[in-house]
Amino acid sequence: MTMAEHDSTSEITRKRDTYTPESLLAVAVEVFIERGYDGTSMEHLSRAAGISKSSIYHHVRGKEELLERAVGRALDGLFGILDEPAASRGRAVERLEHVVHRTTDVLMAELPYVTLLLRVRGNTRTERWAMERRREFDQRVAELLRAAVAEGDLRADVDVRLATRLLFGMINSIVEWYRPPAGSTAATDERVADTVVRMAFEGLRK
């Protein structure tokens, strides 16, 4: 672990001479995922980024601001979906399928940011805020599910809360194994999103 960590750190250091808030964020998210947010110090961030702590403080007030920006990026991606035309017009079931498809896309495109969001536990104000926003998103999806049942398009013999949990369980599990193709840092795999929608809505049976 220390070996690999060291290698990837030096690679990152080699690649960059200057840091932008964006590139610093990308490094911070890697370290947060690796060590956990609680277990990460400014010293760890400084070593991973290959820049001094005072250079980091030039960009951000501290590690909580980095966490806020990182989970904020994931949440912006997710909530952005709900504002898309296909999520706001038409039958609830079509809107729901669109949201499920796009949620899977965003998870893949923003993989480290969504991974971090899913791992956050509520020890600080920012973590509690992130959990609250995540619950809010889940509730918006549960409402769509409820509306689709009311419109007669989804089976009524399934508990909405339970179905929402299983649906997100399936989608969120993708962070455990999905890795973008080499050379790309943010690539979605349409086949994955299509299969999620097909499996959840049509089922595996012919």
Binding site residues, its own copies, CB under 8 A: 93, 145, 152-155, 157-159, 162-163, 165-174, 176-177, 191-192, 195-196, 198-206
Residue indicated by tokens 């964020």: 25
* Residue among 45 and 167 whose Cβ is closer to its own copies: 167
139 φ/ψ sector (left φ>0, alpha ψ -120 to 50, else beta): alpha
**Which residue, 80 or 90, has its beta carbon nearer to its own copies?**
90
Q: How far is the CB of 141 from its own copies (least distance, A)?
A: 12
* Closest distance of CB 22 from its own copies, Å: 30
Rg over alpha carbons for the chain, rounded to the nearest Å, is 19
Q: How far is the CB of 55 from its own copies (least distance, A)?
A: 32
Give every CB contact of residue 185 below 8 A, 6+ residues apart in sequence: none
In this complex, which beta carbon is closest to its own copies, that of residue 21 or of residue 152?
A: 152
Between residues 128 and 165, which has the closer beta carbon with respect to its own copies?
Answer: 165
Considering the complex, what minimum distance in angstroms separates the CB of residue 177 from its own copies? 6
DSSP states of 39-85: T--HHHHHHHHTS-HHHHHHH-SSHHHHHHHHHHHHHHHHHHHHTSH
